[in-house]
Structure 1
Amino acid sequence: MVMEAIVNYHSHNILPSQCASINMQEIPALISHVWSIIRRFDHPQAYKCFIKECYMRAECIEHLDELNDEHHVMRFSSVGGDHRLTNYQSTISLHQVSDKITVVIESYVIDVPLGVTRENTCTFIDGVIKFSLKALAERMAECL
């Protein structure tokens, strides 16, 4: 099931100047509970602990590219802002693997900034994603 999801939702075209990765986290909760938090594009701080506030503005920083409630898939891209994360595109998909376990898969592709290695770029982004997904898993475990 997980391999099929990776093929269906997490295959990215990667240019030579980009890096990409896939991260997975088991969450001890039903898919409907996890999706109710992740699908809130307008409230990312609900599971992304490093975000303090989020405002909707006329100038878009992140763009919601897809929100599929039936298949539990969200895609978004960074389209501007004061950071070095150029051409960041992310896909998040959720998959119920047992009665009480949901697997969250988050993949991305991003331009490697000038003066930074591909490995350092992926290590940084992977660290942020893993931290957020682990925090979400711990939060959902507390609700049991």
Structure 2
Amino acid sequence: MNGGDAVSGIMEAEYIRRHHKHEAGERQCTSAVIKRIKAPVHLVWSLVRRFDQPQKYKPFVSRCIMKGDLGIGSVREVNVKSGLPATTSTERLELLDDEEHILGIRIVGGDHRLKVTLLIASSLDAFAFWFLSRSY
């Protein structure tokens, strides 16, 4: 493991500890992904924070219908393009922190096994990186 991987591992563990509140129960699992993006964090966050437009950064989303005022507790119905193991997802906005660049979504319905998605856009060396945590 090089120095960058060690930093990523420490950051991942810290973000999970601080932000991922879902406790995996029996017969559940969690996963985490970190991806560096060569773009300023403010630019990346301006796309990701739009709970009403996930298709702007998720190419597999074909349609999004909002219920609510885009505040915490708002719900979106997402249709997924064919070829994926799901066709629909009903998601509630749980957390939107513009200062820390954190978007938390709880899956409340749909034809898949996801339960919680936590998306964090942060910066390291002036570039954005994603931390994505999911529970199944």
In the superposition, the TM-score normalised over structure 1's length comes to 0.67
CA contact (8 A) 1:38 1:47 kept: yes
Cα deviations across residues 102-129 of structure 1 (Å, max 9, x unaligned)?
A: 110000112xxxxxxxxxxxxxxxxxxx
Match status 1:5 vs 2:31: no
Q: 1:52 aligns with which of 62, 74, 82?
A: 62
Separation in structure 1 between the aligned mates of residue 97 and residue 39 of structure 2, nearest angstrom? 19
Q: Percent same amino acid among aligned pairs?
A: 31
Can you give the 5+ residue segments of structure 2 that lack an aligned partner in the other structure? 1-6, 69-74, 77-89
RMSD: 2.0
1:87-98 alignment, distance < 5 Å: 88-98=115-125
Name the structure 2 match of 1:36: 46
Separation in structure 1 between the aligned mates of residue 20 and residue 119 of structure 2, nearest angstrom? 8
In the superposition, the TM-score normalised over structure 2's length comes to 0.70
Q: CA deviation at 1:13?
A: 1.1
Name the structure 2 match of 1:27: 37
Q: CA deviation at 1:5?
A: 2.5
Instruction: Indicate the structure whose relative CO is greater, using CA pairs within 8 Å and at least 6 residues apart.
Output: 1
Provide closer, same or farther for how the CA distance between residues 16 and 48 of structure 1 changes in structure 2, counting only shifts above 3 A.
Answer: same
Match status 1:85 vs 2:95: no
Name the structure 2 match of 1:107: 133
Please tell me the residue identity of whatever aligns with 1:20: T
Number of equivalent positions:
107
